[in-house]
Amino acid sequence: MRGLTKRSGQAGDVGLVEWPMPTARAGHVVLEVLGAGICGTDLHIYKNEYKVTPPVVMGHEVCGRVAIVGDGVDPSLEGQRFVAETFFSTCGVCRHCRNGRPNLCLERKSIGSHVNGAMAPFVEVPAINLHRAPDNMSDAAASLAEPVACVTNSMFGAHSYVEPGQKVLVVGPGAIGLIAAQVARTHGADVTVRGAPSDNSRLELAAGMGFETSVVGDNLTDSSFDVVVECSGNAHGYADSLRFVARAGHVAQMGLSGKPSELPTDLICYKELTITSGFASTPCSWERAMRLINSNAIDLEALVTDRLSLDQWETGFERSFAGDGVKFVIDPQGA
Ligand SMILES: [Zn+2]
Ligand SMILES: [Zn+2]
């Protein structure tokens, strides 16, 4: 089978490579991949700004149908449609693993970066990582369960920072930002989404979802938001986050810039800010994400800009780099 592969530690060394069909070891399944989302992390992997073990098939946002079950796995899962958590293996014994935070395990190996991921017709994952995909949801939208779980980990994981009635600003209207905005709204926050002038179409989508929007250049009042969720991954966005958050407010970093940034850090002290983050997802954040998804509290279909075959991967990456659209999902079964 062909898989979209980060071939080496060189920036841009990505292409379709022939791999053997995966098998399912004990406790694992092989999924026939129906949708694999292109994520900001994949863009960083492309540019060699995120640690991977090459050569490796990319893709960690997956919806698929169980094709093979390994020993010890319920055979009735075969043929059923699931989404999957991203950690292929963790040590299981460190304090983070024992505390339900496998995302912080030093031995963590994830699909799409350390072991082969979902941008191929088949991917092997641990059976305990599976969550049933809602029947009424498309494969592409279901593959966005992973970014929802990243958002719920940031927002309700080690630090819970969204409460009813709060004014929340989401900086960066990409997939993570538009999911964060929706999740914050389901928890009673009054949400504004902010982007650059080039985010025009993304901000229109945000407005269509009923959010207040703001474009860089608009005069938002400084210090007017209880919470700012930084999802842009750029220094200007981060600086805006520190500027627009209220005194004693909360800034949560979700965006990654891939390089050191210059920031007005004195504001953290002057305003006595709390800065938290959220890296990837945890089993607990997946449970919350799946509850939100199953109750139709968030719209993921609207975030899917286009579905592409493996052969069209470059289009998906180019448009994602350009911020042209929100989420591109690869269908590795598509011609
Ligand atoms: Zn992702
Ligand atoms: Zn561990």
Instruction: Report residues near ion ligand 2: CB below 5 Å.
Output: 90-91, 94, 97, 105
pLDDT of 144: 98
Who's near 160: CB < 8 A, 6+ residues apart?
none
Ligand 2 center to 102 CA (angstroms): 6
What's the pLDDT score for residue 310?
A: 98
| Average pLDDT of span 17-37 | 98
pLDDT for 19: 98
Cα of 27 to ligand 2 centre, how many Å?
A: 19
**Model pLDDT for residues 73-124, shown as the tens digit of each residue:** 999 999 999 999 999 999 999 999 999 999 999 999 999 999 999 999 999 9
Ligand 2: distance of its center to the CA of 282 in Å?
12
Q: pTM of the full predicted structure?
A: 0.96
Query: How many angstroms separate the alpha carbon of residue 16 from the centre of ligand 2?
Result: 32
CA–CA distance, 230 with 169 (Å, rounded to integer): 8
Q: Please state the domain extents for the chain.
A: 2-147+281-330, 159-276
| Of the candidates 87, 130, 127, the residue with the CA atom closest to the CA atom of residue 106 | 87
The CATH-assigned architecture of domain 159-276 is 3-Layer(aba) Sandwich (3.40)
Residue with tokens 């992997």: 45
Name the closest ligand to CA 98. 2
Q: What is the mean pLDDT of the chain?
A: 97
Q: Are 241 and 251 in contact (CB under 8 A)?
A: yes
pLDDT range class, residue 221, cuts 50, 70, 90: confident
Distance CA 56, CA 52 (A): 8
**Distance, CA 278 to ligand 2 centroid (Å)?**
17
Centre of ligand 1 to C-alpha 150, Å, is 8
Nearest to 31 by CA among 134, 113, 114, 143: 143
pLDDT band at 327 (very low <50, low <70, confident <90, very high): very high
Judged by its nearest atom, the ligand closest to the C-alpha of residue 89 is 2
Same fold, 2-147+281-330 and 159-276: no
Q: Which fold has domain 2-147+281-330?
A: Quinone Oxidoreductase; Chain A, domain 1 (3.90.180)
Query: Residue 190 is encoded by which pair of tokens?
Result: 């009054």
Q: Environment class of residue 312 by beta-carbon count within 10 Å: exposed (0-12), middle (13-18) or buried (19+)?
A: middle
Q: Which pLDDT score is estimated for 219?
A: 76
138-182 pLDDT tens trace: 999 999 999 999 999 999 999 999 999 999 999 999 999 999 999
- How far is ligand 1, taken at its centre, from the CA of residue 46, in Å? 14
Mean per-residue pLDDT, 308-317: 98
**For residue 158, what pLDDT is reported?**
93
Ligand 1 mean position, distance from CA 71 (Å): 29
Q: Which ligand is nearest to the CA of 153?
A: 1
Please choose, from the candidates 290, 328, 307, 329, the residue with its C-alpha nearest in 3D space to the C-alpha of residue 129.
Answer: 290
